[in-house]
Structure formats: structure tokens, C-alpha cells
Amino acid sequence: MMRFRYPAFWIPALGGLICDRLSKIWVVTEFQLYQSWPIWPQVFHFTYVRNSGAAFSLFSGGSSWLRWLSFLVCFGLAIWAWFGPRMTRSEQLGYGFIFAGAFGNGLDRFYDGSVIDFLDFRLILFPVFNIADVLINLGVACLIISFLRPLWTRPRSSKPPLS
């Protein structure tokens, strides 16, 4: 029987992708484009918008290369998870979350040429975003923690510093 390699990569990758897809299906079926539902008025709303670019609407319009970039990132991460070197749990989580976010937004780009966004934090005037964007940021945070953890846990010298 083949052992499932790196479940801490694949479980967040698949779970995150499912959450992203279900949330976007809900938004498309329940909202009209640009419709907004205040959850906490002037603080947090669900607002259905489409973004043809990347984060913060960079590269809006004419961004068909972004769909291929999403595909390449996902393909590279899947290969890394199957054949790459040993990963810590936080690295697995980080890459899994990034895979889910890239795949979720990539599917939007392939299907319709734009990404479905709906999480609207108005208190800080932040651009509208989606679950996939949250997953990518969680993944980056996990990778930063993975990088910094050895710095936090390395043994400290008992010798006094040189003057």
C-alpha cells in the first residue's frame, strides 16, 4: 500500500480549495454583480465584484498569462509535494495553503477570465478579496514561521558577549 506523502500539504490544499469554491458558488448564486450585504455596516460587507487582474487589481485586463501562472505554481507545488525534499509541518501547511489559493483563483481565471471577490473590509479601505487570497496569505505566514523557527530555537551560548 502506498503511503500518503505529506498529508499536512494535501489536506489544507484540498480543504482550502473546497472552501474557496463553495464560497464563490454561494456568492455567484446569491448576489448580483456589485451587490453588497452589510454584515457589520461600514466595517465588513459581502460585496460581489470581479477582478481581471492580480492582487490589488494589478495587471487588470489583458492578463490571460495569470491563468497560466496559477497553473504553473500549482503544478510546481504538487511536484514539490510528491518528489521534493523533506518538509517541516509548517512548510507543508504553507505550500498547501498557497496551492489551494492559486488553484482556486486559477480556476476562476480559466473559467471566466476574472476572479470572484467578495470579502469587503471597509473599515480599513482594503480591496475586496476572497478565501483563496486568505489562503495564500496564510501559506506565506506559515513559510515565514518555518524560516524563522530555527532562529528562535537555536541554542544560546552560555559565554558572555565579547566586549
Cβ atoms of 103 and 17 within 8 Å: the answer is: yes
Partnered with residue 119 across adjacent β-strands are 46, 129
Q: Which of 20, 108, 117, 120 is catalytic?
A: 117
- Cα gap 109→114, rounded to integer Å: 5
**Residue 51, SS3?**
strand
Distance from the Cα of residue 119 to its chain's centroid: 14
Q: Which of 20, 108, 120, 133 is catalytic?
A: 133
Q: Residues 92, 94, 98, 100: what is their CA dihedral angle, to the nearest 10 degrees?
A: 60
Would you give the DSSP letter of residue 56?
G
Residue 117 annotated as catalytic: yes
Query: Could you give the residue ranges of the DSSP H alpha helices within the chain?
Result: 7-30, 65-83, 89-112, 131-153
Partnered with residue 87 across adjacent β-strands are none
Residue 120 annotated as catalytic: no
Residues assigned a catalytic role: 117, 133
